[in-house]
Chain A
Amino acid sequence: MNYLDFEEPIRLLEEELEKARQIAENTGIDGSATTSELEQKIKNTRKEIYGNLTAWQKVQVSRHPDRPYALHYFNILSDNTFIELHGDRTVKDDKAMVGGFGKLNGEPVMFIGQQKGINAKMRMYRNFGMANPEGYRKALRLMKLAEKFNVPIVCLIDTPGAYPGIEAEERGQGEAIARNIYEMFNITVPIICVIIGEGASGGALGIGVGDKVLMMQYTWYSVISPESCSSILWRSWDFKEKAAEALKLTSEDMLANKLIDGIIPEPEGGAHVNPEEAAQILKQTVTEQLAKLKKIKPEKRIEQRIKKFEAMGVFED
């Protein structure tokens, strides 16, 4: 287990609990009263800490090293029927973007999402969840495939941004993202997008145009990361907390601003505390939403999709 700085009280209690268990085991004395008291204490502490998170702390939770990533959810949502499909058919297979067919409650679904690595080596392999243009093009290829066979699409978004490298620019990162956004508006099958971690800017929106766009509770979605915003607008890296507040990037703020359609609750203390439960909650939500969307005619869905995004903006006329 890894702990964030503000999770220190939880870590200390967990440590205490572990010791109490060891003592009970070593001495054979019944320590159940002590351990259950500690367990209750941990639960309460978690509830208190997670009930009062700042925007910046929520950003930290969205990046928690133990937080589940897209493939974890694909497997549970599909009852382990998910089969990954590779490649954009042009350049290569982007490991930061994954996708494939699976069955959700027996019904076919195309799953697509950015994937972060679960350890140091895999983080490199997954390029920290930063897709190159071929990742976006693979995603679009899979969406078109799904559309052709009338299979709904579920996109799980978790990226610190599209990769800003030389080759990415050469192969048209801007065009790839633009093309996806554009094409997603006219995909005839239902699309559900869920921010499961970080929703950074165009890199997120590149698979983020959906009939329903939802955010898990402890995630963020904005035009820029708080760190980069701090460095540009405050000309220093030290104002990330302030920038996180100012950007109104939490799920509550995004819903209040009508830029998303709903929030998916997470287990007490965040998805990393109970990844299985987090996935079950997600599964239930996606199942319900898909059932509703399937009842709408494709032309109507597309019209509503366009209208929803067209209404976004605040100005004086």
Chain B
Amino acid sequence: MSWFKRIRSGILTSTEEKKETPEGLWHKCSACKFISRTEEHAEHLFVCQNCGFHDRIGSEEYFSIFFDNNKYKLLNPNIISGDPLQFTDSKKYTDRVKQVIANTGLKDAIETAVGKINGKETVIACMDFDFIGGSMGSVVGEKIARGIDYALKKKTPFIIISKSGGARMMEGAFSLMQMAKTSAKLTQLSKAKLPYISILTNPTTGGVTASYAMLGDLNIAEPNALIGFAGPRVVKETIKRDLPEGFQTSEFVLESGFLDKIVERKKLKEHVSFFLEVMTANTR
């Protein structure tokens, strides 16, 4: 069993580890237990060939899915977290951040990049769940803000791929204000008539849902992602009964009227490319 896990975490975490993953090993689907070769699973964009379960992947993988020939330039890759509250719980926030940086090879819970999607220059901000649960702190807000500034300057569309448990509690109200900061920047994008597509992946909850994830000109989700404001545990504790089947899934959120479309990962680029084309054809 443990070697299944090892491959999975190899795929999902750092690039260093991934390179060390021996070829010819196996992936086991966490939903249906279907076994496939790791390379094959990667070729299928980490979606189970048997049941369609979408494994959680990181910014690097999404950039390779969207950008032509996997060519792109990272924007502001060196911004790292401060410690505005000198926060300590079971450990110091600064130590926690250092450790996660060392473990994941990521600098924070989001990466921003510019590249071409079927020839169309686009800025993508993609969250990384492996970095403290994809939590939104000052770095996430700042990178989105600067990503939008870049899009405004170069007149490109903007995409955010969300994947987050919500706010970065260790940054307290600073984290909360990132909801306002990112929303403020999105109004500027809107005034410039540049498209903003929000892609919601598993999970997208809390302050991220209550800000940029729900503010797309189009809101698109991967299938069966957990999407909500309050986490399911909190809702359950509040109402003191079991939650209905399929509650807070992409499908539930679409039926409730808050998503434009659910798109499988392998069709994401094609769809996004089409939408960008129709949204920019008459605004040039």
Contacts and interface: CB of A to CB of B under 8 A. Distances in A.
B and A form one assembly: yes
A309 to B, nearest CB: 4
B177 to A, nearest CB: 4
A166 interface: yes
A246 interface: yes
B85 A172 contact: no
Contact of B211 (A178, A222, A234): A178
Given A172-B258, A202-B229, A316-B82, A178 B210 contact: yes
Contacts of A305: 184
A185 B89 contact: no
A182 B256 contact: no
Interface string B222-253: 00000011100011001100011001100010
Given A208-B180, A224-B167, 20 more contacts: A165-B238, A166-B235, A170-B252, A173-B230, A174-B229, A178-B183, A181-B210, A206-B210, A209-B180, A222-B176, A223-B207, A249-B173, A309-B177, A310-B185, A312-B174, A313-B138, A314-B138, A315-B80, A315-B138, A317-B76
A171 interface: yes
B79 A316 contact: yes
B87 interface: yes
A162 B166 CA distance: 15
The list of the 4 closest CB pairs from A to B, nearest first, reads: A164-B230, A174-B209, A313-B138, A314-B82
Contacts of B252: 170
B172 A223 contact: yes
Nearest to A133: B229
Interface string B106-135: 000000000000000000000000000000
A168 B90 contact: no
Nearest to B211: A178
B172 A201 contact: no
Contacts of B89: 233-234, 246
Given A177-B229, A224-B169, A170 B256 contact: yes
Given A178-B215, A201-B207, A222-B176, A247 B85 contact: yes
B84 interface: yes
Interface of A: 162-166, 168-175, 177-179, 181-182, 185-186, 201-202, 205-206, 208-209, 221-224, 229, 232-234, 246-249, 254, 257, 259, 305-306, 309-310, 312-317
A202 B83 CA distance: 21
A310 B184 contact: yes
A205 B172 contact: no
Contacts of A229: 169
Contact of A249 (B76, B172, B209, B235): B172
Given A182-B215, A223-B167, A306-B188, A202 B138 contact: no
Nearest to B206: A202
Nearest to A309: B180
A169 B85 contact: no
B178 interface: yes
Interface residues of B, number: 62
24 contacts: A164-B230, A166-B235, A166-B244, A172-B257, A174-B209, A174-B214, A174-B229, A177-B211, A178-B215, A181-B183, A208-B180, A222-B176, A223-B175, A234-B90, A249-B172, A305-B184, A306-B185, A306-B188, A312-B138, A312-B178, A313-B178, A315-B81, A315-B82, A316-B82
A306 B184 contact: yes
Contact of A168 (B78, B173, B230): B230
B181 interface: yes
B81 A316 contact: yes
B33 to A, nearest CB: 30
Contact of B181 (A163, A174, A312, A317): A312
B229 A246 contact: no
Interface in B195-212: 206-207, 209-212
Contacts of A317: 76, 78-79
Contacts of A168: 229-230
A215 to B, nearest CB: 11
A202 B183 contact: no
B139 A309 contact: no
Contact of B187 (A170, A185, A223): A185
Contacts of A166: 235, 239, 243-244, 247
B212 A315 contact: no
